[in-house]
């Protein structure tokens, strides 16, 4: 960028992250509430898991595709801003569609329309997200990447979570979702408008011809990951049906054990398949630690992401006497405490990693998140519930900072984009694995027990750290140029 960075650039470049997270947290609240109007209570977990699986796989493809398309854009309005504008405006149209579906439809017809709207929402949001990620590298000098990343983190996690807690969750009442939809739409449009003032300039030099090979490789990786999740889910469901004839205690033990095993298998095979497709046998010294790092991240995120996704169903089950508006407000309060805790722990996480190392901090976060999950499950009242949420939030803040720092020491500098692209696929897989495999388990044995399974994934995440060699590695063979 030709001119100096100004104070408001920190806002214009990063504020759309606020809209993206506000969107995801709002949908995490209202989509389950809408869904139960269309499907039977006994299959609501499976219905939500199916919706999440295909939505997230759509997100993976669209985000990567738009990222590459914006790289090659020569628009006079800039490379990234037109895609962000398109994504934001179309997303608001999808919100309106979701509101109409909730108000006018019933039964499985309503479910499938909601399913389609959710896919469209993933398309729109990730069209904007895929382009947005290029703004900091494009505009900001390298020496300021750190402080811009810090501002981005505030906009991306604690700020929108607190906003949803104080505003959106209080607007959802007795099946009337329009106040929340209108507020969220206004937030998205305002963030888009501010982003349009980011100091992006059109590319003047000739751009290289777009190479579609990376997209084809990503499609193959996504297909393999989807097949792994579908296969693991089918096996888990089959075993659980067989276990239904056992005594209650035995059936519960088998279901929990198979659920954890199914998620672990999906995590390990999904990551291993992604690495093999993208990297093959090249750079084995790097790949081994890198693979375990992605497994560590994916296992943690399976727990953290899906605790939020199934929180409404869990609260309805755990506090059955407090239905309706009270549950929705409780969800908002829980999100607020988690968001505040993430904000508090994210600040000292880097300092702590420098003092004791990144792996120890990741290990601490896994154990702390497991303890927090146990507290949430056992909570007899809301103060204890929120205390557990605070522990999970502290753990999440520590993990996000330390784990990312650990990963950047493992990938070879000249292939960082290639390696971290695999990490992005695995990150989206967290929601898909936990929701698709976990949803039917919650339907069968309860969402309180499902929360316990997600807690055990934090322990699995910690164990995966033993496979990581915490030092900067180099490629042992020469890598060919990225296709």
Q: Would the pLDDT of 472 be above 60?
A: no
Sign of CA dihedral 119, 124, 125, 130: positive
pLDDT tens digits, 244-303: 888 888 989 999 999 999 999 999 998 888 777 876 655 555 578 888 988 999 999 999
Contact 114, 51 (CB under 8 A): yes
Superfamily of domain 10-197: MFS general substrate transporter like domains (1.20.1250.20)
Q: What is the pLDDT of residues 377-408, one digit of tens each?
A: 999 999 999 999 999 999 998 898 788 778 77
Residue pLDDT, tens place only, 107-154: 999 999 999 999 999 999 999 998 898 888 888 887 787 678 778 878
Question: Cα separation of 468 and 79, whole Å?
Answer: 38
Token code pair at residue 62? 């669209």
Percent of the chain topping pLDDT 70: 90
Q: Per residue in 184-223, pLDDT tens?
A: 999 999 999 999 999 988 877 777 777 777 778 778 888 8
Query: 173 - beta bridge partners?
Result: 176
From the number of C-beta atoms within 10 Å of its C-beta (0-12, 13-18, 19+), residue 174 rates as exposed
Q: 211-474 belongs to which homologous superfamily?
A: MFS general substrate transporter like domains (1.20.1250.20)
Which H helix or E strand runs over 33? helix 9-35
Q: Which residues pair with 176 in a beta bridge?
A: 173
Compute the average pLDDT of residues 10-20.
94
The per-residue pLDDT for 426 is 64
DSSP string, 143-194: GGHHHHHHHHHHHHTHHHHHHIIIIIHHH-BTTB-HHHHHHHHHHHHHHHHH
Domain with CATH 1.20.1250.20 in the chain: 10-197, 211-474
Higher pLDDT, 233 or 280: 233
Q: Which two tokens stand for residue 40?
A: 């039977």
Average pLDDT, stretch 11-17? 94
């Amino acid at each position: 960028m030709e001119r100096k960075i100004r104070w408001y650039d920190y806002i214009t470049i990063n504020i759309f992250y606020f809209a993206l997270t506000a969107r995801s947290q709002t949908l995490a609240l209202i989509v389950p509430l809408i869904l139960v109007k269309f499907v039977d209570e006994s299959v609501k977990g499976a219905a939500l898991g199916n919706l999440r699986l295909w939505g997230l796989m759509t997100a993976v493809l669209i985000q990567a595709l738009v990222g590459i398309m914006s790289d090659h854009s020569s628009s006079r309005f800039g490379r990234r801003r037109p895609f962000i504008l398109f994504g934001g405006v179309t997303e608001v149209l999808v919100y309106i569609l979701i509101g109409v579906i909730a108000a006018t439809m019933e039964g499985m017809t309503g479910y499938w329309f909601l399913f389609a709207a959710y896919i469209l929402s993933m398309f729109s949001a990730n069209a904007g997200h895929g382009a947005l990620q290029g703004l900091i590298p494009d505009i900001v000098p390298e020496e300021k990447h750190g402080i811009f990343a810090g501002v981005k983190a505030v906009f991306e996690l604690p700020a929108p979570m607190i906003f949803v807690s104080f505003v959106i969750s209080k607007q959802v009442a007795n099946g009337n979702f329009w106040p929340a939809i209108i507020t969220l739409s206004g937030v998205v449009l305002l963030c888009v408008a501010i982003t349009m003032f980011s100091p992006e300039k059109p590319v003047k030099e000739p751009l290289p011809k777009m190479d579609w090979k990376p997209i084809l490789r990503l499609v193959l990786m996504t297909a393999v990951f989807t097949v792994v999740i579908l296969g693991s889910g089918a096996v888990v469901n089959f075993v659980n049906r067989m276990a239904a004839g056992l005594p209650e205690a035995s059936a519960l033990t088998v279901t929990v054990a198979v659920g954890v095993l199914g998620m672990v298998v999906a995590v390990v095979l999904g990551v291993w398949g992604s690495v093999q497709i993208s990297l093959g046998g090249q750079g084995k010294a790097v790949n081994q630690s890198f693979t375990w790092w992605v497994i560590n991240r994916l296992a943690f995120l399976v727990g953290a992401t899906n605790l939020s996704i199934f929180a409404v169903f869990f609260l309805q089950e755990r506090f059955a006497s407090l239905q309706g508006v009270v549950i929705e407000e409780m969800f908002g309060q829980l999100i607020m405490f988690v968001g505040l805790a993430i904000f508090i722990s994210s600040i000292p996480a880097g300092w702590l990693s420098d003092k004791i190392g990144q792996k120890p901090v990741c290990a601490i976060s896994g154990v702390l998140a497991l303890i927090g999950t146990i507290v949430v499950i056992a909570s007899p009242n809301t103060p204890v519930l929120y205390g557990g949420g605070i522990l999970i939030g502290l753990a999440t803040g520590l993990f996000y900072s330390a784990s990312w720092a650990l990963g950047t020491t493992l990938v070879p500098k000249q292939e960082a984009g290639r390696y971290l692209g695999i990490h992005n696929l695995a990150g989206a897989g967290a929601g898909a694995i936990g929701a698709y495999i976990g949803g039917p388990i919650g339907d069968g044995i309860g969402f309180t027990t499902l929360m316990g399974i997600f807690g055990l994934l934090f322990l699995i995440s910690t164990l995966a750290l033993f496979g990581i060699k915490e030092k900067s590695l180099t490629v042992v063979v020469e890598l060919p140029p990225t296709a």
